[in-house]
Amino acid sequence: MMQHRFFPSEQKPLLFAHRGYSSIAAENTLSAFMLAVEQGIPGVELDVHLCKTGELVVIHDHSLKRVANVDAEVEQSTFTYLRSLDVGSHKDPSYTGEKIPLLSELFEQCGSKLYYDIELKARGKTDTGLAKKTWETIYEYRMQDRCMVSSFNPLAIRYFNDVSNKSIPTAVIYSDTNDLPKILRHGWGRHIARATILKPDRKLIDEHMINSMKNRRGYPIIVWTVDDLSEGIRLLDLGVDGIISNNPKLFVKELQTRHYR
C-alpha cells in the first residue's frame, strides 16, 4: 500500500479540528477555522457540497434546517441564497451573521496555516462534478501537500482519484451503523474508492483492527470523533495516525509529547 504524500512535512500523529473548532464556534464557518489556527491546532476537517449554481460550499448537512432553520437543500439552492443565510446563531448568539463559506475562501483565509481533511458530501452513484470542482480548487490554490479528501461514499472518492490522478491522499469514512449499507460498515469501500487511508469511527478501533489494516495492509488510520482524553490516549497507544475532535485542544500536549519521543 503506497502512502505517498501523506502530509510529508507534518508531525504524526495528526490532529484535526472537526468542522473547525466546533465545540466553541459555529461549525464549518471561517470563525471556527480561524479559532483552530488561533488555538494552535494544526489541521481542520470540513465538508463540501456543490450548490445549484456550481459553487463549492463548506457545510455539513444536505438540509439547511439544523444550521439555518430553513426548509431547503444545499444542492437545490443558489449560492446567492445560501450566502444570505445566518449559520451562526444556532450555535450561540455571538456567532449571529456567520455565513456559509466557499472552500476557496477558506484557503485564502487560512492557507498553509492548516492542513485539511475535506469530506465530499455526495449521495448516490452519479458523478455530480463535486470531485472535479474540489480537485480544481485544491490545485488552483496549490494546496496539494496540505490536503486529503475523504467521503462515506466510495464512488465519490473514486471519481476524485480519477480526476486528480491520485495526486493526494484519499480516505473512506465508515462506521458500524444502520445508516450505511452493510458492505461499507467495515471499510470495504476502500476497494471501490482505491483509497489510501482509512477513517473509521473510533468505536471500531482495537488492536486486531490496527494489526490487520495498518500493520499488515499499510493503511494509515485517522479516527473520528474523539472528545475524551483517555479515549484519545487509548487510540494513540494502539497506533492511530490522526485524531479528529470537536475539542482538539484536549490533545495538544499529549501529541507534542509523542512528537518528540
The pLDDT of residue 210 is above 90:
yes
Terminal C-alpha separation, the chain: 26
Dist CA 255 CA 18 (whole Å): 17
- Residue 148: beta bridge partners? 117
pLDDT at 51: 98
| Predicted local confidence at residue 167, as pLDDT | 95
220 pLDDT exceeds 60?
yes
Distance of alpha carbon 177 from its chain centroid, rounded? Answer: 19
- 8 Å CB contact between 200 and 221: yes
CA 8 to CA 45: how far, in whole Å?
Answer: 18
Strands 222-223 and 242-245: parallel
14-259: CATH topology is TIM Barrel (3.20.20)
pLDDT digits (tens, 9 = 90+) for 143-170: 999 999 999 999 999 999 999 999 999 9
The residue count for the chain: 261
Find out whether 32 and 246 touch, Cβ atoms under 8 Å.
Answer: no
| pTM as predicted | 0.97
Residue 218 pLDDT more than 70?
A: yes
- Where does the pLDDT of residue 2 fall: very low under 50, low under 70, confident under 90, or very high at 90 and above? very low
Q: What percent of the chain has pLDDT over 90?
A: 94
Average pLDDT over residues 62-72: 98
Residue pLDDT, tens place only, 3-38: 456 898 999 999 999 999 999 999 999 999 999 999
pLDDT of residue 260: 79
> CA angle at residue 152 from 150 to 153, to 5 degrees?
95
Residue 261: pLDDT above 80? no
Q: Are 5 and 167 a contacting pair, CB within 8 Å?
A: yes
Q: With 50 as the cut, is the pLDDT of residue 1 above it?
A: no
Q: What is the mean pLDDT of residues 209-217?
A: 97
pLDDT at 3: 44
Domain ranges of the chain: 14-259
